[in-house]
Amino acid sequence: KQEVTQIPAALSVPEGENLVLNCSFTDSAIYNLQWFRQDPGKGLTSLLLIQSSQREQTSGRLNASLDKSSGRSTLYIAASQPGDSATYLCAPRDSGYALNFGKGTSLLVTP
Amino acid sequence: NAGVTQTPKFQVLKTGQSMTLQCAQDMNHEYMSWYRQDPGMGLRLIHYSVGAGITDQGEVPNGYNVSRSTTEDFPLRLLSAAPSQTSVYFCASVRQGENEQFFGPGTRLTVL
């Protein structure tokens, strides 16, 4: 069974900082990996998707990298803003369509 | 497109009651799935479907039934609700051959 760990569990930073969220997974035989954002009481919003053959993917201030062989992915957020405050979820996908979720990193960006 | 929709948003049940959580998508996605999210845990897969008439169990299927009579709809049924089923339930969908999965807004269920 795929085990997904996200570190840190919680993070509080002042506005403007660059930050890195870490995700590790135990089974490297993944099809792709998706990063989601979840605001309190809301659903999941897809941020980035990295195919297993890719090393990284970028969208605006967000950059996600994937090292499949070592079972790691990182989400880099540049110049953080208070609006980035949310929980970030990492979800590698196996050969079917099932996603395996970590517990998430709760991010607070203070003005 | 409305995307993935779920109803109701909130529901309170008494132990032993039954109910159906509705999920619908208008993107013609073949694959649909149900997850539950509990405090301190990652989302866990309950049931999934790869197309109309085909369903299968996920990681935590006990106490839940599903059916898929149309491509658009994938309801989740609780036949006899238990307090352990208090959770937030999310429905997701994706088109076969594509990669990005889309989630609904969730249903917050409390079983007393």
Separation in Å, CA of B2 to nearest CA in chain A: 14
Burial profile A61-97: b = 16 or more Cβ within 10 angstroms, e = fewer: ebbbbbebeebbbbbebeebeeebbbbbbbbbbeeeb
User: What is the percent of chain A with per-residue pLDDT over 70, rounded to a whole number?
Assistant: 100
Separation in Å, CA of B91 to nearest CA in chain A: 10
Question: Cα separation of B77 and B98, whole Å?
Answer: 28
The tens digit of pLDDT for each residue in B91-103 reads 999 998 888 899 9
* Res. A90 pLDDT band, cuts 50 70 90: very high
Q: Do B45 and A98 make contact, defined as CB atoms within 8 angstroms?
A: yes
The tens digit of pLDDT for each residue in B33-60 reads 999 999 888 899 999 999 999 999 999 9
Reply yes or no on whether the pLDDT at A96 is more than 90: no
Query: In terms of CA atoms, which chain A residue is nearest residue B88?
Result: A41
- Report which of residues A56 and B41 the model is more confident about: A56
Query: In terms of CA atoms, which chain B residue is nearest residue A104?
Result: B42
Consecutive H or E run containing A34 = strand A32-38
Reply yes or no on whether the pLDDT at B1 is more than 80: no
For residues A46 and A33, the answer to whether their CB atoms sit within 8 Å is no
